[in-house]
Structure 1
Amino acid sequence: MVPAIAAAAEMGVNSKTIQKYYDLLRRTISEENKELAILHFGAATIDPEFFYNDAAGAELGAEKKPLFCLAKREEGVSLLFTQPSLNKDFTAKQTILGWVYARDDKAFDSLDLDRIHFIRTDEKKSGDTYNAFWVFAKKGLLKYHGGFKKNFYLFMREMEFRFNHNSNKDSSLSYLISMLQGDLNNTETGDDNAQV
């Protein structure tokens, strides 16, 4: 997206107005991505115990804090955010490509991207491993100069959408327009810290 200040200047409106519409756009994208995850995996969240029980996560240690897992679907990837759950019967474990985790509580609380890493589920050693999504997402988040921290989950849903629709920008724009025409009037701004 064009930075809010630049878009506001170009359109002759207040930057807060642009920020409001960017927020509505992110919330609409987030709901759409959440629905896709539920459709494919039965949930948009995953119990963090799966991270600690995974061979890679178990080797990293209990001080590591998972933020979300990356799950493969036919049309791209879905982010399943961690949330303790009564439902421990996640049946799509084979679709989990890896986990994005914080090194410790401080990194988790501050969302310091230098201390947040990706590890594949088949990786046995600790540390970062290459993942196209996480490299893409980190580069995208850095452009917001820390502004993503207040609404981290919304910004991650935006990165998920951008990654899945990166190959054809015209198609992405058409898809966004159709999504907004159907949903923008029904999207509410809510709790800025809500996980989605």
Structure 2
Amino acid sequence: KCARCKKKFSPAKIKTDLELIKCFCENLTVNESSKKLAISYTTVKKRCELFRQLIASFLEEEYRDKTVIEYDEYVYLEKSKKKIKENIFDAQNFLTFHYENKVYNLLMPNLNKYKNQFLEDDAGEAYFKEFSKFMIYNKISKTQKRENLITQFWLFFEKSILKYKGVAGKNFFYYLKEIEFKFNYEKNEQEKLLKELFTLS
């Protein structure tokens, strides 16, 4: 029982939460964590969602007032969607900033809300071709070298996001922030920080 707030804490629940944090930082999926700890899939899923929310808030605060060294824009589209031109509207567009040997990502507005409008207007092949060129060449960018911390993060992101086998657009921000967190911090630091954030939540 907490002397300050009088809230009761179950030692077993605390132990489970700490084990879940460890699983999360070890990149286990919800299903793998559920089986390993013998707890329900729903419980693990809700905890992981909370971890991502805590991480996102922490990273926003961490980045505040930092000096940016360089930045670049990235367009992400799931591999399974790349063959269909209309899926360009499902792409996730974000800016990656390099600061103090870390990265910070700013998710840009989603284009999906314009999809039906353009399909109804029957824009045709020429439109999609020009739009794809625009997405590729009209980038916001300020980098010193072709290979840099930002491009290292993008490679890490592309590899990491595959684990989830598709992420709903409304949740993409939180998965992006999870991957940013895991890129910026070593596993032991991740566990320490997440335990602190969880304890304070």
TM-score interval, smaller chain: 0.5 to 0.7
Code of the residue aligned with 1:35 in structure 2: it is E
CA–CA distance in structure 2, aligned partners of residues 66 and 4 of structure 1:
23
Distance 1:66 1:14 in 2: 31
Structure with the higher fraction of residues in strand conformation: 1
Identity, in percent, stands at: 22
Residue 2 of structure 1 corresponds to 28
Q: Tell me how far apart the structure 1 counterparts of residues 142 and 108 of structure 2 sit (CA, whole Å).
A: 19
CA distance in 1, matches of 2:50, 2:163: 19
1:19-41, CA deviations, whole angstroms, 9 ceiling, x for partnerless residues? 00000000000111112233327
In 1: Cα distance, 2:173 partner to 2:136 partner = 16
Quote the Cα distance in structure 2 between the aligned partners of 1:81 and 1:135. 17
Shift in alpha-carbon separation, 1:66–1:20, aligned structure 2, 3 A: closer
Q: CA deviation at 1:82?
A: 2.5
Q: Which runs of 5+ in 1 are unaligned?
A: 42-49, 52-62, 84-100, 107-114, 124-129, 184-196
CA–CA distance in 2 between the matches of 1:154 and 1:34?
Answer: 12
* Aligned position for 1:141: 161
**Which amino acid in structure 2 is aligned with residue 33 of structure 1?**
L
How much has 1:81 moved relative to structure 2?
A: 2.4
Q: Choose between structure 1 and 2 for higher RCO, CA contacts under 8 A separated by at least 6 residues.
A: 2
Aligned length: 130
Instruction: Determine if the alignment matches structure 1 residue 157 to structure 2 residue 177.
Output: yes
Higher helix share: 2
Assess if the C-alpha contact under 8 Å between 1:30 and 1:157 holds in 2. Answer: yes
Structure 1 match to 2:141: 121
Query: Matches of 1:70 and 1:147 in 2, distance apart?
Result: 19
Structure 1 position 29 matched with structure 2 position 49 = no
Task: Give the whole-Å Cα distance in 1 for the aligned partners of 2:192 and 2:136.
Answer: 33
Give the TM-score normalised by the residue count of structure 2. Answer: 0.53
Quote the offset at 1:13 in angstroms: 1.6
Please report how far the alpha carbon of residue 74 of structure 1 lies from its aligned counterpart in structure 2 after TM superposition. Answer: 0.9
Compute the displacement of 1:14 (Å).
Answer: 1.2
Q: Unaligned stretches of 5+ in structure 2? A: 1-26, 74-87, 116-131, 144-149
Q: Distance in 1 between matches of 2:194 and 2:39?
A: 22
